[in-house]
Amino acid sequence: MIIPKQKKLDDQQLKSLKKVLADFNCDIQAVGGTTRTIYAILGDERQELMLNRIEGLDFIARIDTIQSPYKLMDRKSELAMHKIKAGSINFGDDLIFIAGQCTIDIDNPQYFIETAHAVKEAGAHAIRGGVWKPRTSPYSYQGESKSIDILLRAREETGLPVNTEVMEYRHVEIAVKNKIDSLQIGTRNALNYSLLTKIGKLTADTQTLILLKRSMHMGSIAEFLCAAEYIVSNGNPNVLLCPRGTLPAIEGYRNYPDECITPLLKQKTWAPIVVDPSHSVGKAIYTPHAALAAVAYGADGIVIETHVKPLNGIGDDPKQAITPDVLTKLIPDAKALFTRRKAYESYLADSNPS
C-alpha cells in the first residue's frame, strides 16, 4: 500500500509511479480515503527492488506492508483515518439509525413513503427499502427494478439518504446510475466474491456506501474482513460491516444474535459496525432489546426494519418490523447508552493504556 506525500497523486506522478510498477509486472489501484488517497499494489508486492524504487520517488511518503490478509481493512492500515458519513454525520460521532421496510411493495407505494416520513420524524439518518429481494423460493416475489422510483421519491421527499440490496451486476449498474446512496450486500451473497469485486469497481468513483452483511454461518473474523477487502481493494473504502445473526438459530429467534462480535471486529478493523437486530431475533417484540445490546457491545449504527403497518408488509415475516412509534422511543434510549458507552470506553482506554 503506497502512501503519497500529498492528499493525492497528480497525473504526472501517477504516470511515473505506474511506470516503475510496470517494470515489475505490477499495477496500482487507487483507494480514495477522506484524508488521502492510497494506492494498493496489484501483483507481487514482495519485490524488494521495486519497493526501493517506489520509496525513492520524491512524492511518495512511504510504503505500508501490513502482513494481515486484509491489509486495507486492518485497523493498522492508513485507511484507519478514513471517515465514513451517513448524510452529513460521521460514523463514530453519533449513533446512526437506518430504518425502513424490508421490501418496497410496488402495489402499495404509500406504505413505503409513509414509513420514510415516519422514520425521519423518529430521528433516523437513512432509509432502507428493498427494490430487489433474494427469496428462498424461486416462486416468491423477487422485487422489481421499477420500485427504485419509489425509493427515489422517498429520498426526495425526506432529504434522507437511501439504501437498497443488490444481488447482481445489473442491480449495481441501475443503482449507481440512479445515484442510490447506499448498497446492501445480503447475507446470501456475503461471500460472492465476483459481486464484491464488481461493486468495488463500479462504485470506485461514486464512493457509494456499501453495507456488507455477515454471512449466516459462524465464520471467522478474518473471512468477514477479507470479504470487505474485495470491495475496498477494488477502489471503494466506504464499507460498513453488518452482523445480522448466525445459524443455527436460538430456539424462538430467527437466528442466533451475534452483536457480540462487535468488539472483536473493532480490535481488527477501522470500519464502522452497523448491527441488524431485526434479522437477528426476527420478531419486533425483541428487536429493541437486541438494538440496545448492540449499542452496549459497541455498534456505530443500527439498521432496523420498520413499517407503518407491519401486518401489511410484504417480504419477510410481518412480525419482524417495528412501528415508527417504537423507533421514536428507542432512538433516544439507544443514544443515551451510546454516549455512556463512549465515556466508559474512554475511561477503560485511559486505565489500560496498552
- The single-letter DSSP state of residue 272 is -
Nearer to a second copy, 106 or 296 (CB): 296
| Under rule CB under 8 A, residue 226 binds a second copy | yes
Nearer to a second copy, 154 or 195 (CB): 195
Q: Interface residues for a second copy in 116-135 (CB under 8 A)?
A: 134-135
- Size, binding site for a second copy by CB under 8 A: 78
When binding is defined by CB under 8 A, the residue of 15, 62, 289, 319 that contacts a second copy is 289
* Three cell numbers, residue 95: 449513533
Nearer to a second copy, 15 or 347 (CB): 347
**Bridge-based pairing state of the strands 27-32 and 37-42:** antiparallel
| Under rule CB under 8 A, residue 12 binds a second copy | no
When binding is defined by CB under 8 A, the residue of 84, 154, 202, 261 that contacts a second copy is 261
**Could you give the CA distance from residue 186 to residue 180 in angstroms, rounded to a whole number?**
16
**Could you give the CA distance from residue 322 to residue 311 in angstroms, rounded to a whole number?**
10
**Could you give the CA distance from residue 331 to residue 122 in angstroms, rounded to a whole number?**
7
CB atoms within 10 A of CB 220: 9
Q: Interface residues for a second copy in 156-215 (CB under 8 A)?
A: 167-169, 188-189, 191-195, 197, 215
| Under rule CB under 8 A, residue 39 binds a second copy | no
Nearer to a second copy, 204 or 292 (CB): 292
**Could you give the CA distance from residue 96 to residue 143 in angstroms, rounded to a whole number?**
27
Mask 231-260, x = binds a second copy (CB under 8 A)? --xx-----------xxx-xxxx--xxxxx
When binding is defined by CB under 8 A, the residue of 14, 66, 264, 309 that contacts a second copy is 264
CB atoms within 10 A of CB 103: 23
When binding is defined by CB under 8 A, the residue of 33, 100, 130, 298 that contacts a second copy is 298
Among the listed residues 324, 277, 325, 279, the one whose alpha carbon sits nearest the alpha carbon of residue 297 = 277
- The single-letter DSSP state of residue 180 is -
| Under rule CB under 8 A, residue 292 binds a second copy | yes
| Under rule CB under 8 A, residue 220 binds a second copy | yes
Instruction: Give the helix/strand (H/E) hosting 245.
Output: none
Please, what is the minimum distance in Å from the beta carbon of residue 63 to a second copy? 16
| Under rule CB under 8 A, residue 9 binds a second copy | no
| Under rule CB under 8 A, residue 139 binds a second copy | yes
Nearer to a second copy, 127 or 299 (CB): 299
Nearer to a second copy, 215 or 320 (CB): 215
**Could you give the CA distance from residue 277 to residue 334 in angstroms, rounded to a whole number?**
13
Among the listed residues 146, 238, 132, 234, the one whose alpha carbon sits nearest the alpha carbon of residue 189 = 132
CA 199 to chain centre: 12
**Could you give the CA distance from residue 134 to residue 279 in angstroms, rounded to a whole number?**
14
Nearer to a second copy, 54 or 292 (CB): 292
Instruction: Pick the stretch among 51-59, 83-91, 100-108, 294-302 that binds a second copy (CB under 8 A).
Output: 294-302
Nearer to a second copy, 22 or 285 (CB): 285
| Under rule CB under 8 A, residue 318 binds a second copy | no
Query: Grid cell 422489481 — which residue?
Result: 144
- Tell me the C-alpha to C-alpha distance, in Å, between residue 239 and each of 72, 89, 170, 260: 11, 15, 20, 20
When binding is defined by CB under 8 A, the residue of 39, 112, 270, 297 that contacts a second copy is 297
| Crossing angle (nearest 10°) for helices 287-297 and 324-351 | 20
| Under rule CB under 8 A, residue 89 binds a second copy | no
User: φ, ψ for residue 213 (rounded to 5)?
Assistant: -75, 150
| Under rule CB under 8 A, residue 293 binds a second copy | yes
| Under rule CB under 8 A, residue 319 binds a second copy | no
